[in-house]
Chains A and B, each alone.
Chain A
Amino acid sequence: MITELGHFALILALFVAIIQSTIPLIGASRRHVGWMAVGRSCALTGFALTALAMLSLMHAYVVSDFSVINVVQNSHTDKPLLYKITGVWGNHEGSMLLWVFMLSLCAAAVALFSDNLPPALRARVLAVQGMIGVGFLLFILLTSNPFLRTFPPPANGNGLNPVLQDPGLAFHPPFLYLGYVGFSVAFAFAVAALIEGRVDAAWARWVRPWTLASWCALTIGIAMGSWWAYYTLGWGGWWFWDPVENASFMPWLVGTALIHSSIVVEKRDTLKSWTILLAIITFSLSLVGTFLVRSGVLTSVHAFATDPERGTFILLLLIAAIGGSLALYAIRAPALKGGGLFAPISREGSLVLNNVLLSCGCATVFLGTLYPLFLDAVGGPKLSVGFPFFNRTFAPMMVPMVIAVGIGPMLAWKRGDILGAMQRLWVAYIVTGLVLLGAFYVTYGGPVLATLGLGLAAWLTAAVATEFAERIRLFRVPAGESIRRAIHLPRSAYGMTLAHFGLAVSVAGFAASAYDKEAIEVLKPGGTIAIAGYELTLESVSRIPGPNYVADDAAIRVASGGQLIKVMHPERRFFPLQQQTTSETSIRTNFLTDLYVALGESDTAGNWTVRVYWKPLVPWIWIGCVIMAFGGAVSLSDRRWRVGAAARSVRRPIAEPVPAAGE
């Protein structure tokens, strides 16, 4: 009954979305206030309906209603409650429902927090979001319906893939989808602006918070996925350049470019058509990612549901959404007037450089990911492009970018003084030099590129600190005055400083992964492994029953110089239902280095394979991502975006140029 209610709500949501995508659009072109207002009520109703659908599917999972095919295929009565709930999106149908739910959430948020938007723009934005909703609701209802029943119901379900039964993975998809789908708002704003033929500073100010929020969610989502891979797969790797990982990374790269280029639109009223294009491409890449994952045109570890019929449907959706918006762009964008001019060496210039490098980086990842597809279409051999390609092409492109991130914020708008900026960065040269020397000394004979990477991270950190010190005129004015300045700095300035610092932290983590040490030994209880100054002794292995698995739990004593540090407990879990074994690693971190222990197979003689990794700075990768996302959130809390502040600028449609922060 509840399942049918959810099914019905989803069908109703489709009809509401159809109204949402048409009536407000007509209303906007005819200036009919009532018709335009329909968008808002539709968005809110659509959200309520999809939420109802989501909850009813969740209910079917929680009570283990095995008359629903989707529950049979992905759940089991023995599964812990948390995974019953998160199992809702651990499969194709459910994850598409989550997608649509997030979409309606975004539409409802736009409807609620857009009182300050001109009604016509708001109506058009909501209509575009309605169109995306129609496409995906049709997709779910026609090809991937999670509410279908089966009769007679089986006694129990097939269970969820054990690898997916993990807290890290439970919340990875919602964040990722919030990021993907959040970019639909920027997309809707871009398309609405193209329909209206007008892009101005006020437009950029409305789009930016939405882009920032989605970017933060995507950053967290990607970091969670990478962290999950790190501690679950048991190989110590944190990024595999897998097509699905790339599918989430590409919108992140272009989304990062979008955040930066929309600053130029807001402050300097230029780069408009480029920013519009970026907004379209960011969301298009989210759609292409969905297509690649769902259609099975590329083989991937993540491709859990592939079906050519679904692929065809998503492809049609893709052609309609991306082709349509790019066609509109081709027609309308040439008419957008560029604003202020600027010299190549200027804040704008550095942001353009940022955009060029990020877009090229994204294009590289795109080519690397789709290369097998292109080759296959022309009858070439099947192959996939692995680590070496990405490491040799993507990494070198990001080096100048990280260097430029240090210099860009020091340049003035319109025309910057690069020599002056370089001179003011003298502290950064010293810090970088010292870190390089220190790292060379400590890791003498080790990988040189990793040491250079550490130098890069040091450069960025020092440059970010210098820029911040300049803003508050540290050591140039009395300390009290500096503190007063620091307190009055806009939140967006803090956001930038934090996000750039987070990037530096992550870069250090990426670079230091080349220093990893590993040891693999076959141990009898009592046997010892020595690695990086630690001695690990396998004390015992005991069998422990879990809710839906049996675990072999090893007790491994970690000591350094005879001093006991910790007893670690890596496990191997066997899931009888799926006949599958997973490895539960044990990680000891002091936020500088990780000691990573995984338990392997045992033989009949009672020998256990134990794998140990010593990974310096690896936690910094994710700490850096969290700092970046936090920086985004701080910037988001800037008073400029607040409803009141934005409303004031609406009353003066031609926004006054906002003084560049810090001046």
Chain B
Amino acid sequence: MKRLLYLLPLLLFMVLAGYFVISLRPNHDIHELPSAMIEKPAPAFDLAGLGDSKPLDLDALKGHPFIINFFASWCVPCRVEHPLLMRLAGQNHLPLYGIAYKDKPADSTRLLATFGDPYRSVGIDQDGRVGLNFGVYGVPETYVIDSTGVIRRRFVGPLTAETVEKDLLPLLKQLGQS
């Protein structure tokens, strides 16, 4: 019995190692998440605009492909992603719209005032209702929506320069042409 007690640390570690093995399994990309929303029409939203922004209305955005980025001032990965968004907005003139997810408008304003505002306009989703409809797990999340309002791609976590170059920009280009 006493011996079992001494075996306990090893057993616990083996369980832990098992979890580590699972999370390293091949073809398991932690950034890729299945979503029931892919290839489905984006849930409708009509959000109040942040500060001077116009209201963010899904119907008004249709007609061209666009990108929705869920962010929040309390989110550290968003800050990691931010310089990239600034560059995309500045250099590539992407149709990037922001939704401030579960964030006080004053805090969102402060974030954008400090680090720059990459968005064409920003909608306030303070109670997280729109995020819930989209199935947002956590911020930042980025959705590519085509001109008919159908969600084509979802990026969970901060965008990286690599995913933008290899994935997001080609997709947008393709959507813009068709």
What residues make up the interface of A, taking CB atoms closer than 8 Å to B? 233-234, 240, 242, 273, 277, 280-281, 284, 291, 295-297, 299, 301, 308, 311-312, 315, 318-319, 322-323, 326-327, 329-330, 333-334, 370, 373-374, 376-377, 381-384, 520, 522, 579-581, 583, 598, 600-601, 609, 611
Contacts and interface: CB of A to CB of B under 8 A. Distances in A.
A383 B137 contact: yes
A210 B77 CA distance: 37
Interface stretch (B55-63, B110-118, B163-171): B110-118
B83 A382 contact: no
A299 B19 contact: no
B25 to A, nearest CB: 9
Interface residues of B, number: 37
Contact of B114 (A330, A376, A598): A598
Interface centre among A234, A284, A377 (most CB of B within 10 A): A377
Interface of B: 2-3, 6-7, 9-10, 13-14, 16-17, 19-24, 26, 30-31, 33, 76-77, 79-80, 83, 87, 110, 113-117, 137-138, 156-158
Contact of A334 (B3, B79, B113): B3
A323 B30 contact: no
Contact of B6 (A311, A333, A600): A333
Contact of B9 (A301, A326, A520): A326
Contacts of B117: 601
Given A297-B30, A323-B14, A601-B115, A311 B24 contact: yes
B7 A330 contact: yes
Nearest to B15: A374
Given A315-B17, A601-B115, A611-B114, A330 B6 contact: yes
A374 B6 contact: no
A318 B20 contact: yes
Contacts of A330: 3, 6-7, 9-10
A522 B130 CA distance: 30
Contacts of A323: 10, 13-14, 17
A376 B13 contact: no
A333 B83 CA distance: 53
A280 B13 CA distance: 12
Nearest to A326: B10
A383 B139 CA distance: 10
Contact of A382 (B16, B30, B76, B110): B30
A199 B10 CA distance: 21
A382 B19 contact: no
Contact of A327 (B10, B110, B116): B10
Given A323-B17, A373-B23, A334 B2 contact: yes
Contacts of A240: 76
A47 B20 CA distance: 32
Nearest to B73: A235
Interface of B: prevailing SS = helix
Contacts of A520: 110, 113-114
Given A284-B13, A299-B157, 12 more contacts: A273-B6, A277-B9, A280-B9, A297-B23, A299-B77, A308-B24, A315-B21, A323-B17, A376-B30, A383-B137, A581-B83, A601-B117
Contacts of A381: 137
Contacts of B17: 315, 318-319, 322-323
Interface centre among B110, B114, B137, B157 (most CB of A within 10 A): B114
A642 B23 CA distance: 47
A397 to B, nearest CB: 20
B27 to A, nearest CB: 10
Contact of A297 (B24, B110, B156): B24
A383 B157 CA distance: 10
Nearest to A280: B9
Given A242-B76, A323-B10, A330-B10, A291 B110 contact: no
B20 A297 contact: yes
A275 to B, nearest CB: 13
A297 B22 CA distance: 10
Contacts of A233: 79
A326 B87 CA distance: 50
A308 B26 contact: yes
Contacts of B6: 273, 329-330, 333-334
A377 B23 contact: yes
A315 B18 CA distance: 10
A232 B117 CA distance: 20
